[in-house]
A and B are shown apart, each in its own frame.
Chain A
Amino acid sequence: MRYSGFRVIREALTGHKGWQPAWRDPAPQASYDYVIIGGGGHGLATAYYLAKEFNQARIAVLEKGYIGGGNVGRNTTIIRSNYLLDGNEPFYEFSMKLWEGLEQDFNFNAMVSQRGVLNLCHTDAQRDAYTRRGNAMRLNGVDAELLDREGVRRIAPFLNFDSARFPIKGGLLQRRGGTVRHDAVAWGYARGADSRGVDIIQNCEVTGMRIENGRILGVETSRGFIGAKKVGCAVAGSSSKVMSHAGMRLPIESHVLQAFVSEGLKPVIPGVITYGAGHFYVSQSDKGGLVFGGDIDGYNSYAQRGNMPVVEDVCEGGMSLMPIIGRARLLRMWGGIMDMSMDGSPIIDKTDVDGLYFNGGWCYGGFKATPASGWAFAHLLATDKPHQTARAYRFDRFRKGLMIDEKGMGAQPNLH
């Protein structure tokens, strides 16, 4: 069933009796050609592009909970492609281009809104760093604009420009950046994959992997054994847990990141604004709530909730950057588990086990990467070759010294 304005009107006139569930709820078959572990954004996108772009069939997505219940429904919905390093920037720009055509592609309203992402700078050195980053972006064909103080003031006059400690000197603006309704991304990909024959199997946790003579034969799950020619793991947050079934140790730690939303307010924040002097970034949802967040809590965690010191830190950052936020009440806050990798960049690669592929290590930047991650992982699964924009995301980059370390923090996951 295609969604359209005409369809909405027709259903409105006939009592909305024609709507159907957006995807089936099938029981698992005995075996598949492709089993994708993880029904989050990346896993669903992988299945969708495998079926649609690489013409593969007999695909299943295994999800231990329900679709949209993990990190794809817990992030702060920001999309951007404002990276510095060559290993990253073409990949995230590929993702941005996919975002731009996504809703037409999968016929679902994901509310892609390119309202701009503005990174503020507060010192001369930071402005130099943003100039460099903006130039690197433009060398990769991405839009970037360096704003002076007045330029920032025109966009966001309510900011605290004259803070004695952290005056706003300007900012780096990517106008094509913005926000997307994250649940709709999961639903859109799930519906698109399902309509192309992908089995989306919920409440199905992988509890083991059957590996013989260095080749994967399938996965043990809470709903029985499922055979597979190729298995792709896209479970960022729980990657170490799942890959330990294959005896692998990963260059990843799991950390908790918190996010917050205020009560609904009239439109005040035009795009996404990030504070350059503290851990704080904010946007406003179409419902009116201020959606904001800060840094990870900083210690290993699999609990999908954080602790109070970071709540305080984030709110202090908000008050310092835009004192008007002090009048808003915090409505909800929650946590999600991040794969924090050793250089702050992801991994999309084969493993030493034949037929077992890995996608993870997204740190707290996985949402914006969803379409490109799915496409690149589908490319790897279908052709056994890395996608052109994801060639740097390999396991062996640590051994070879080819880290993609945007922040230059070294092998210290809680600092990326």
Chain B
Amino acid sequence: MIINHPLLGPRDSQEFTYLGDASLIDRPDWQAPDAVDQFHDYLYLRDNPAGEHRELWFHEQGDRSWLVVTRNVVTHEILNVELASDVARSRGRSK
């Protein structure tokens, strides 16, 4: 698979390390009253869809940036690549 890095252009997926579902960006609030339940769901449960999947890849052998890759997990086709920092900021994180 070739991942089209937003800054570096097309790179072989071998340069990357895979983490998992991009929902891992949305870390729950540890002070919420139901934080235990939220963290259980956050850490252990996955949608695991058979189709488009937004996921986190780390450019370990490259510029060490985190990317959010939208990929069809049935065909392995990569549909969109964003910087994870942009995604997190657009969700109100890392202000």
Find out whether the CB atom of B73 lies under 8 angstroms from the CB atom of A398: no
| Stretch of A97-105, A250-258, A266-274, A363-371 at the chain-chain interface | A250-258
Say whether A307 contacts B48, CB under 8 Å.
no
Instruction: Give the residues in chain A near B45, CB-CB below 8 Å.
Output: 249-251
What is the distance, in angstroms, from A300's C-beta to the closest C-beta of chain B?
A: 5
The reply to whether A301 and B46 contact each other, CB–CB distance below 8 Å, is no
Name the B residues within 8 Å of A300 (CB-CB): 20-21, 48, 53, 55, 71, 73
Q: Contacts of A303 on B, CB cut-off 8 Å?
A: 73-76
| Complex Cα spacing A299 to B53, Å | 11
Complex-state Cα separation, A300 to B44, whole angstroms: 15
A selection of 11 A-B contacts at a CB cut-off of 8 Å is A251-B44, A252-B48, A300-B53, A300-B55, A300-B73, A302-B74, A303-B73, A307-B1, A342-B44, A398-B43, A399-B40
A243 vs B46: C-alpha distance in the bound complex, in angstroms?
A: 12
Of A251, A300, A411, A414, most buried by chain B (CB within 10 Å of CB) is A300
- CB pair B44–A398 under 8 Å, yes or no, is yes
Q: CB distance A301 to B73 under 8 Å?
A: yes
Beyond A299-B73, A398-B43, A414-B18, 4 extra complex contacts between A and B, CB < 8 Å: A251-B44, A299-B55, A299-B71, A399-B40
CA distance A298 to B43 in the complex (A): 18
A15: B residues at CB distance < 8 A: none
Residues of B within 8 A of A302 (CB): 50, 73-74
Is A252 touching B40 in the complex (CB atoms < 8 A)?
no
Check: B63 CB closer than 8 A to any chain A CB.
no
Nearest residue in A to B36 (C-beta to C-beta)?
Answer: A399
- Which residue of chain B has its CB nearest to the CB of A395? B44
Could you tell me the distance in whole angstroms from the C-beta of B4 to the nearest C-beta in chain A?
A: 16
For the complex, give the distance between the alpha carbons of A253 and B73 in Å: 11
A240 to B53, CA, bound (A): 13
Within the assembled complex, what's the spacing in Å between the Cα atoms of A342 and B40? 11
Asked whether A241 is an interface residue with its Cβ less than 8 Å from the other chain, the reply is yes
* B14 located at the interface, meaning its Cβ lies under 8 Å from any Cβ of chain A in the complex: yes
Interface size of B by CB at 8 A reads 25
Tally of contacts, chain A with chain B, CB under 8 A: 69
B41 at the A interface (CB under 8 A)? yes
Contact of A253 (CB < 8 Å), options: B1, B12, B14, B48: B48
Does B34 sit within 8 A of A, measured CB to CB?
A: no
Query: Complex Cα distance A302/B50, Å?
Result: 6
Residues of chain B within 8 A (CB-CB) of A398 are 40, 43-44
**For A249, what are the chain B residues with a Cβ–Cβ distance below 8 Å?**
41, 45-48
Q: Is the CB of A414 within 8 A of B73?
A: no
| Residues of chain B with a CB closer than 8 A to A250's CB | 45-46, 48
Q: Which of B14, B21, B48, B75 has the most CB of A within 10 A?
A: B48
Residues of B close to A21: CB separation below 8 A: none
| A18 adjacent to chain B (CB < 8 Å) | no
Closest 10 CB pairs of A and B: A240-B48, A249-B45, A302-B50, A251-B44, A398-B44, A299-B18, A309-B14, A300-B73, A342-B44, A302-B74
> B20's closest neighbor in chain A, by CB?
A253
Distance between Cα atoms of A302 and B18 in the complex (Å): 16
CB distance from B10 to the nearest CB of A (A): 15
A1 to chain B minimum Cβ distance, whole angstroms, is 40
Task: Return the CB mask of B16-53 against A: 1 if under 8 Å, else 0.
Answer: 00111100000000000000000011011111111001
Q: Determine whether B13 belongs to the interface, using a CB cutoff of 8 Å to chain A.
A: yes
The listed residue (B13, B43, B48, B73) touching A411 by CB distance below 8 A is B43
Residues of A within 8 A of B73 (CB): 254, 299-303
CB distance from B23 to the nearest CB of A (A): 11
B18 contacts A251, CB within 8 Å? no
- Complex CA gap A264/B74 in Å reads 32
Q: Across the interface, do B20 and A412 meet the contact criterion of CB distance under 8 Å?
A: yes
Residue of A299, A307, A309, A342 ringed by the most chain B CB atoms within 10 A: A299
**Chain A positions 334 through 373: 1 when the CB is less than 8 Å from some CB of chain B, otherwise 0:** 0000000010000000000000000000000000000000
Looking at the assembled complex, report how far the CB atom of A81 sits from the nearest CB atom of chain B, in whole angstroms: 27
